[in-house]
Structure 1
Amino acid sequence: MMAHNKTFLTIAAVLALSACTDKNPAAPTLTIKVTPPADYSVDETVHLVGSFNDWALEGDKAYPLRADKGELSATIPVTEKNVFFTLVKNKDWQLMPANEMAKSQCIYLYQATGSDAEMAVHIPLWTGDKPLKTAEPSLSGSIIQHKDFTLPQFARSSDIYVYLPKSYQHNTHKTYPVLYMLDGQNIFNAHSAHSDEWRIDELLEDLTTAGTLDEMIVVAVPNSAQRWVEYNPWDFKDRDGKARQGQGELTIRSIKDTLKPFIDSSYRTNPQPASTGLAGSSLGGLMAIYAALAHSDTFGFTAAFSPALAIENMDGKNVLFEAIKHHQTIGNSKIYFDIGQMEYGNYEQIEQLNSLLLKQGFNPENLKLVKDDVGRHCEVDWSRRFPAALEWLQAGI
């Protein structure tokens, strides 16, 4: 009888637990309502991809949008604090949301509220479409263009833009530190930017006026159509699995041996390494770290925004990590580097980079690692992190 009672009590406990479980609320949902371009056809497919489904376009995790009266929608469960997502047309990663100027847009971010929600997304165009209008120039402050500046290292020329601080014209005895920025077409001008611009000119105008940042000269150095090669310092395996010879050293040499002497002779600069910096994002961030490793005699401070951390050599080894392991000399460059959590799914690689630099002998006081839980791989977020990065780098200049 006692055993029977124990069995009954066990069954009752299981049933009670099941009843409690049934009463637990389901995960909140997010309904994303998309207004597609005006020429949208029902023959086109549009998929919602993001952190919620491992960015899958195929299989059980795929989220094709449903069409209803000219609007597309999908409802997803929200199980994470920050949901990152974008849209893909016809399952082609080259066809993603663009603005009216046909410039690619940053990945969308939804921050959970704990309850069901809706989010409206308007897509004027897809990347590759013909622009509906032309982006207007958006230069602020004093910016000088040096058109067709010759870079003998690449046997070509490039348009160089130089931002001068507000005090430059009237404080004629003052010299200024210089920051060289890669992917220069994206730095100052919405008209030339591939996607969004960094708005470095507007930021410096506002922040130096407020006294938050010290004044400096910024030189925007655009990339060429061969960016993938020119911004790789080491030989690497390309996306097709083929061996490629990196020309990153030539890129640094073009700045160090040709552009910097011109800037130093044309403007009132402080040419010393401690007052000379290099900044870049993605592959440009990889270049910034390379400059700190191999050219600390020129670049005393560098900023690597979302550096490319997945480039491998033909042996399948990370080119940056291998270079750090085998680097013989450690300079005194200050290195700022950051990453958004969603870019690689976690912070493991950026933490490995930090550990390798410390193990190789870098002074911990010269390293600044920033982890951005809501950071995305785009100019909007790099621009947002720029002021704090520069403030840290300027300390001691």
Structure 2
Amino acid sequence: MMNTKITLAIATLLALSGCAVKNLAADTLTIKVIPPANYTASEPIHVVGSFNEWALDGEKAYELKTENGTLSATIPVTEKNVFFTLVKNKNWQWMPANEMAKSQCIYLHQNTGGAAKINVHIPLWTGDKPLTKAAPSLSGNIVQHKDFTLPQFARSSDIHVYLPKSYQLNAKKTYPVLYMLDGQNIFDAHSAHSDEWRIDEQLEELTTKGTLAEIIVVAVPNSAQRWAEYNPWDFKDRDGKASKGQGELTIRAIKDTLKPFIDSNYRTDPQPAATGLAGSSLGGLMAIYAALEHSDTFGFTAAFSPALAIEDMDGKNVLFEAIKKHKNSGNSKVYFDIGQMEYGNYDQIEQLNSLLLKQGFKPENLKLVKDDLGRHCEVDWSRRFPAALEWLLAGI
């Protein structure tokens, strides 16, 4: 199945594209593609992106052509930043993947004018059989708790806990804790669905330099029911059917089961001001929900590219409607960000910011970051993570 985060990003782009600024002279970009070794000419490959409203059909569609044994397409460039990807057989299930068959981030070309060229090598398509396995990439002191029971869902999950460098050196020191959703993508390339966040490598480097405070990070993986477990409110699913959100159970699993275990077994600062929750896409939606409804536990939250297009059966935005009805803003610090290409503009993230302010969140407790180069993928969330955490931990 296609990565749900990529599905959400593409669906949003298809619905909200056409908002790019077009103030540059008409330039071109030639994309030359080396397809997988088993590629056959009967398999059409299209380049889609912000330049053509992500169209696979009609006059705006661009199919790669073979010339002198090379697959290529030349597209018009009227934007400063061009985002694009490739699709095989006009099927969004078939997009570029690496040798491990893990999906890749959408490509970015920064236009400097004139006729530009870019070479793209596609080892595999998403859904292909991997050519090799990703090697484990854990760094630092990471403890695994296999098959940790979550009674709220009558199942278990493998929980990974990153401990700071000084943890073994100072037996009296306590640390703030950040719980991160989609935990399989946080530390390890082997378990990551696509790219990993490299949180362990970043913390090892930045805390050694003294540019970031030390913190314990608990990676909480999702299940196959991610869409329900990371939706706090009842919602319309991708097939247009009514679905029951189980996000409250996910928060309860962390709040009532996992957090007490972590606080009992590690030297944590258990106070709300030192306890955070972070997630991306639907996980970002969960982070905002935690700030709204569970500020008694989570004093800071981080929502990377939160899902802002989830609707109920009446077509209303579930997040915005929940904020409007919310009575108590709490005191949580909330970091949230978005890439411009994800929704075509910043209108929705600005609306989110306005609603939170209107409902009583203090301006100094909100941090909105707009990333003109941001895409909906782990590579860019990882890039924005250090600055987000630095702001969230200030004063703790």
Q: Write the distance in 1 (CA, Å) between the matches of 2:327 and 2:188.
A: 40
User: What corresponds to 2:249 in structure 1?
Assistant: 250
Answer whether contact 2:25 2:78 (CA < 8 A) is retained.
no
User: Any idea what SS the aligned residue of 1:256 has?
Assistant: helix
Unpaired runs of 5+ in structure 1?
Answer: 1-24
Unpaired runs of 5+ in structure 2?
Answer: 1-23
Shift in Å at residue 28 of structure 1? 1.7
User: Any idea what SS the aligned residue of 1:40 has?
Assistant: coil
TM-score by length of 2: 0.93
Is 1:226 paired with 2:225?
yes
Shift in Å at residue 396 of structure 1? 1.5
Answer whether contact 2:184 2:192 (CA < 8 A) is retained.
yes
User: What corresponds to 1:352 in structure 2?
Assistant: 351
User: What corresponds to 1:9 in structure 2?
Assistant: none
User: What corresponds to 1:172 in structure 2?
Assistant: 171
Structure-to-structure mapping, 1:284-323, within 5 angstroms: 284-323=283-322
Amino acid at match of 1:351: E
The more displaced of 26-35 and 174-183 is 26-35
The more displaced of 107-116 and 280-289 is 107-116
User: What corresponds to 1:144 in structure 2?
Assistant: 143
Shift in Å at residue 69 of structure 1? 4.2
The more displaced of 236-245 and 189-198 is 236-245
User: What corresponds to 2:273 in structure 1?
Assistant: 274
Q: Write the distance in 2 (CA, Å) between the matches of 1:38 and 1:70.
A: 13
Q: Write the distance in 1 (CA, Å) between the matches of 2:61 and 2:150.
A: 47
Structure showing greater radius of gyration is 1
User: What corresponds to 1:382 in structure 2?
Assistant: 381
Shift in Å at residue 71 of structure 1? 2.3
Over the matched positions of the two proteins, sequence identity in percent amounts to: 84
Answer whether contact 1:35 1:70 (CA < 8 A) is retained.
no
- Could you list the per-position Cα deviations for residues 65-108 of structure 1 after superposition, in whole angstroms to 9, with x for gaps in the alignment? 00134421000111110000000000000100000000000000
Answer whether contact 1:235 1:245 (CA < 8 A) is retained.
yes
User: Any idea what SS the aligned residue of 1:73 has?
Assistant: strand
Shift in Å at residue 114 of structure 1? 1.1
- Could you list the per-position Cα deviations for residues 343-375 of structure 1 after superposition, in whole angstroms to 9, with x for gaps in the alignment? 000000000000000011100000000000000
Amino acid at match of 1:97: P
Q: Write the distance in 2 (CA, Å) between the matches of 1:71 and 1:101.
A: 24
Answer whether contact 1:178 1:217 (CA < 8 A) is retained.
yes
User: What corresponds to 2:364 in structure 1?
Assistant: 365
Structure-to-structure mapping, 1:67-78, within 5 angstroms: 67-78=66-77
Amino acid at match of 2:374: G
Q: Give structure 1 regions of 4+ aligned residues with deviation exceeding 4 angstroms.
A: none
User: What corresponds to 1:42 in structure 2?
Assistant: 41
- Could you list the per-position Cα deviations for residues 159-191 of structure 1 after superposition, in whole angstroms to 9, with x for gaps in the alignment? 000000000001111000000000000000000
Answer whether contact 1:36 1:71 (CA < 8 A) is retained.
no
Amino acid at match of 1:100: E
User: Any idea what SS the aligned residue of 1:167 has?
Assistant: helix
Amino acid at match of 1:244: S
User: What corresponds to 1:114 in structure 2?
Assistant: 113
User: Any idea what SS the aligned residue of 1:53 has?
Assistant: coil
Answer whether contact 2:272 2:299 (CA < 8 A) is retained.
yes
Shift in Å at residue 328 of structure 1? 1.2
User: Any idea what SS the aligned residue of 1:371 has?
Assistant: strand
Structure-to-structure mapping, 1:49-198, within 5 angstroms: 49-198=48-197
User: What corresponds to 2:21 in structure 1?
Assistant: none
User: What corresponds to 1:238 in structure 2?
Assistant: 237
User: What corresponds to 2:260 in structure 1?
Assistant: 261
Q: Write the distance in 2 (CA, Å) between the matches of 1:253 and 1:38.
A: 47
Q: Write the distance in 2 (CA, Å) between the matches of 1:90 and 1:222.
A: 32
Shift in Å at residue 26 of structure 1? 6.5
User: Any idea what SS the aligned residue of 1:52 has?
Assistant: coil
User: What corresponds to 2:327 in structure 1?
Assistant: 328
Q: Write the distance in 1 (CA, Å) between the matches of 2:177 and 2:92.
A: 38
When the two chains are superposed, the root-mean-square deviation of aligned CA atoms in Å is 0.8
Answer whether contact 1:137 1:191 (CA < 8 A) is retained.
yes
Q: Write the distance in 1 (CA, Å) between the matches of 2:292 and 2:66.
A: 53
Answer whether contact 1:306 1:339 (CA < 8 A) is retained.
yes
Answer whether contact 2:163 2:216 (CA < 8 A) is retained.
yes
User: Any idea what SS the aligned residue of 1:158 has?
Assistant: strand
Is 1:342 paired with 2:341?
yes
- Could you list the per-position Cα deviations for residues 40-59 of structure 1 after superposition, in whole angstroms to 9, with x for gaps in the alignment? 00000000000000000000
Answer whether contact 1:338 1:372 (CA < 8 A) is retained.
yes
Q: Write the distance in 1 (CA, Å) between the matches of 2:115 and 2:27.
A: 5
Answer whether contact 1:176 1:268 (CA < 8 A) is retained.
yes
Amino acid at match of 2:170: N
Amino acid at match of 1:300: G
Amino acid at match of 2:317: N
Shift in Å at residue 380 of structure 1? 0.1
